[in-house]
Structures are given as C-alpha cells and as structure tokens.
Amino acid sequence: MQYRQLGSTELSVSEISFGTWAIGGSWGKVDDNESLRALSRAMEAGVNFFDTADVYGSGHSEELLAKATKGKEDTIHIATKFCRVGDIHDPSIYSEASVRAYCEQSLKRLQRERIDLYQIHCPPISILRDGSVFAVLDKLRDEGKIREYGVSVETVEEGLLCLQYPNVKALQVIYNIFRQKPEKELLPLAKEKGVGILVRLPLASGLLTGKFSEQSQFETDDHRSYNRNGESFNVGETFAGLPFEKGVALSRQLSWIAEGKGNMTRAALRWILDNPNITCVIPGFKNTAQVEDNLGVLSTTPFTESEQLRLQQFYEQEVHELIRGAY
C-alpha cells in the first residue's frame, strides 16, 4: 500500500481508501456481517481511511465503522459528512447549533472523540458563497471535535469557491474517465493551495467495471434505479450523469483499458491514481470480493502518455456533451 499526504494536513492516507455509501444503503441489499468482513480485509491490506456520512443508512455506515475500527481509532482515519439529513437549502441547517448537533451525533455513532475529516455534504452554492458555516467548523476544530474539515462538491465552480476559504483542507469530487472536467483547473489549483482531493464514484456507479448490459436491472432501493435521471438528488451522482444505456455503450468502447491491467475496474482506478494531484480514491463496496478487486489496482501498471491522450480525446469527443446536470 502506498500513502499520500492529505494536502497540507498531517494526515497520511492510503491511496486506495473506501467509501461506505453502499454498505449503509441505497445500493440494494447488504449484509452487515459481510460488510464487517470486507472492512477488516481492507484494513489488513493497509487501508487506513474510510469515508462515510450521517445520511448513509441513517447513520448505519458510521455504526459499522465504529465496530470495525474499535481499538484502532489512532491509526484508522474516518471522514464523515453532514447537512443532508435535513433540508440542504435551509440556512438554519448550517447554524452553529445545528452543525454542532450533527457533529455530536456522528461522534456518538462512530464512538470517537474526534472526527478526522468533517465534510459539508454537497451543499447549495449559496451556502458556500455565504461562508458562515466555515466559522462554525473553525470552532469545532479549535475545540478538538474535528481534526480538519472539507467539502464534498458537485461542480468545478463549487470546488473553486471552496478553495477561497483557507481552512478548507480537502475537497471530495466526482472524477473518473467519464468525468474529466476537474483535472484542467480545479485539481492543479487544489494541489497548489495544499488541499487534498478525495475521488468518489471512480467507477461511475459501476459503469466502468464493464459488467453491465442495457438490460441490467437494479433493486428498487438502489439509487441506480430510483435516481437514474436525477429524481431524488443530483443526477451526476448516478452513472456520472450519463443516460444508463448510453453509458453502457460507452463502457464497451473502453474495454481496451483492461489489457494488461487485469480488468476494467482496476484500470479505471489506475487512471485516477496516475494523476499526481489526487490524494486518494474512495470506491464503494458491498462485499470482500469487491474490496479485493479494488485492491488489485496496487499491482496495476500506469497508463502511458499515449493511452492517457487517447482517453482524454475519448472524453472530449464522445462523452462530455452527454453528461447531464451541472458539473
């Protein structure tokens, strides 16, 4: 396992870390015992960083992480997020009283005295422009409730705005072969300012595994079913904003990336980690087999310059115009 510094912070995190949205809910059926085994396997392999949120399974992901990391609080770092339990457009959600309550509830579920990275969970850009929530987070940091704070964003514009606040130490972004926009301006500037980058949805909700067909079906409680066209939240969070059938067809055109890299999953993760402006990638998982598959990227060779150019041109010519929603 390789480790990378999270921006200008003192946190050193595994370049392959994991997100826990899937084991909390919204990705179909899960088994808690299998989830705990998968978390254990990841830690055995050297993973020392996990991302979660209070809204994942109404706190269930946080509770699972508490069980999995008990006794390892000093060596396993946890990032969690807040604001989407309530109405994200209501300014009172970001008041000191509200944020403090969210923080205390997460600390209780995580069974920790401090959150390593506390993130605002994809708030409206108006909240970021107002900026008063950052003063609240400064207080929590000064009190030792949180170690560092950051923002999970939906768009490049939101990310650039966050970089104007000096104590924002991490951005969580959607970035993958189907979503390359952040790499031109946002990622280099974040690096320059000492802000770490966490990459979520690196596999575009599974499209970049190459395992789907146009006939693939998802359970009704899986966001890949109920949010396919942005019915419940930002469409970019599901299949990178691509129409599903078109995304499947595009993934077939990318089958070549698996050559010499094991499979498309590992190749897609490798492409992200080849970017020196990335701190870590946080794929989701529902079982030990998926953890093992993702860990396979550690022995995968980097893409050549010509291959990277080919993928850049593919995105610009075939993908960019098809992505729905602001990004």
Helix/strand number for the chain, H first, E second: 13, 10
Nearest by Cα to 60 from 31, 18, 17: 31
Distance CA 75, CA 61 (A): 19
Which distant-in-sequence residues (6+ apart) come within 8 Å of 207 by Cβ? 178, 239, 240, 242, 247, 248, 250, 251
Nearest by Cα to 171 from 181, 161, 179: 161
Is 56 noted as a catalytic residue in this protein? Answer: yes
The conformation of residue 69, written as its DSSP 8-state character, comes to T
Chain-centre distance of CA 299, in angstroms?
22
Q: Which of 3, 56, 94, 175 is catalytic?
A: 56
Q: Which class for 96: exposed (0-12), middle (13-18), buried (19 or more C-beta within 10 A)? A: middle
- The residues assigned a catalytic role are 56
